Structure 1
Amino acid sequence: MQVEDIHEPDIPVTILTGFLGAGKTTLLNRILSENHNYKIAIIENEFGEENIDTDLIVRSNDEQIVTMSNGCVCCTIRGDLSRVLTDLRHKRDRGEIDFDYVVLETSGVANPGPVAQTFFMDDAVAPFFRLDGVVTVVDALNGGETLDREANARDQVGFADRILLSKCDLVSPEAADEIEARLRRMNARAPIRRVDMGACPVDEVLNITGFNMNDILDVDPSFFVDDHHHHHHNDDIRSFVYETGRAFDPAKLDRYIMSLTNVYGPDLLRYKGVLFMKGTDRRVVFQGVHMLAVSDLMAPWGDVKPSSRIVFIGRNLPEEAIRRGLSTCLADD
């Protein structure tokens, strides 16, 4: 968990995910038809259940890339994601296409984890493309049943930086409240928005800074309230938050996080912490996906009383064992 000076690539990317029928394509058509200030390249997985609205296409001079009526471009993945992104970048550098943002729609049945890791691990991608966030669309009408049945749908919720809840008009307010509470238990750090996909504001999807290194760690206060009014599903994806007012010993915590990710990395979907560390008067922020963890020094604590808060989102994680392990990393008073 070494503190690094991280170069900021110039092309932000949003991963748009959600299970079949949740409303991703409706949202993409909204983005492609709206007059906004972005020149967006949309990478659409060809296994999607619907296609981009062909009425929005103004020309097609390439098997993979088409230009949309508002200046956006759209391409279909027929191969490795790294190659597709590199091809787009080279076409932009040559002046053949123009874009300043990428939206990547995953297949409805896909786990977004490997896609997200591409932006950190692939040397052809990481220096040029910055992962802005993972946006997951959940269907309020059928989402509960889908979450019960499909492990990848639960992974999509766990990886999310923002969750868009669709089709709320087709269910009762009580049913919408219930699935929202379930989603919050699964992912305590992702804001949940109830939206009409066909009228969703673009700023709910783009530039949400889900992967930025900052000292903002918002966890909905209602997450800490045990809600007895809703049925508690036995989801394998759950969140928990560790908090302490004592300082961490940097060496002990570094060793523990390394061992934790080595053992539970495949099941650690997302984690982020704002840390009070012995030996510095500045906040330390760390976050990770699976085994990949990065950290950085942020602003001084100033007049704020130092404390640590870490949120973990993962599959069948041993919560109490992790809490005990973190407590062994606290510095001696």
Structure 2
Amino acid sequence: MSFWKDKKVLITGHTGFKGAWLSELLIGREAEISGISLPPEGTDSLFSQLSLGTRMAGAFLDIRDAAALERAVTDFAPDFVLHLAAQSLVRRSYRDPAGTWATNVMGTVHLLDALRRLERPVTAVIVTTDKVYENNEWAYAYRENDPLCGHDPYSASKAACELAAASWRRSFGNAQFKIATARAGNVIGGGDWAEDRLVPDIIRALRSGASIEIRNPASIRPWQHVLDPLHGYLTLAEQMHTASGGRFQTGYNFGPEPADVHSVGTLAETILKHWPGHWTDASDPEALHEAGRLSLSIDKARCDLGWAPAWRFEDAVEKTIDWYRLVDGGADPARLTRDQIATFEAAA
């Protein structure tokens, strides 16, 4: 943990769910952090609940604005960049495919090009998704050398981010400019309020006493608590930063153990053990395409980085629902978030 003390870390997407958890995590490690992001969506965002706007530097800007992004990067002059900014919702990507590609691909290109021109060493972790792989709906877990593709605009744009990062690494990477990509599974955790995302939708239904409508109960996903992949990103950044000869500058999967890959229906049933309610099957054969089965092999991260998930599926669900229930009962979300980080770090 002492590694990050006083390191200058730029987080893109710091107002989002994962970005807010990462910001709190690095504040606890005494890093000097700054964020670049659009303003948070909604009044109950985790960014606002943690009062991050007064506890860290940052700028609200659109990463599609190359000039503004380069100014912010140059002014802060980071040692590390963790790139989380994205249009990350699959169904929204069907409504706005061009905007999704512009943000996810050209936004990433703008960032990489700004970093290329920094006259100082910088280590960058570009965060993509488990959905970058060509999904054949087969049973085995996807490995880092499986083909990239993507059916929907979100998934395809994230696969394109992988290609952009590889291109910049091969064309411009050197001992001063290091680039890796991180492909995480389906993350859960307290403070996620996104539209059209499973756990926030479940929480909203439970709060109101409504039945939970599950679109794809049989779909299989690699569920993990948000702190597990964030720990993976930091482990990758640290080891890449200190390594020589281009080691670790590649793509890594961060997901749960194989036994913790479960269906959407199983996730809903496990949540209801901690917050009673009921769900109904709202499957629609005419709905927009979403992958039926996703799972990631984490052997490479385990062997190369010594990383492994700290919390099992049941732990991740319990910690997630505890967060929402305690906050609903009047608990301070900032203190609760820090307490869960401390518990996680003890386990990790």
Q: TM-score, normalised by structure 1?
A: 0.37
Higher helix share: 2
Structure that is richer in strand per residue: 1
Greater Cα radius of gyration, structure 1 or 2: 1
Q: TM-score, normalised by structure 2?
A: 0.35
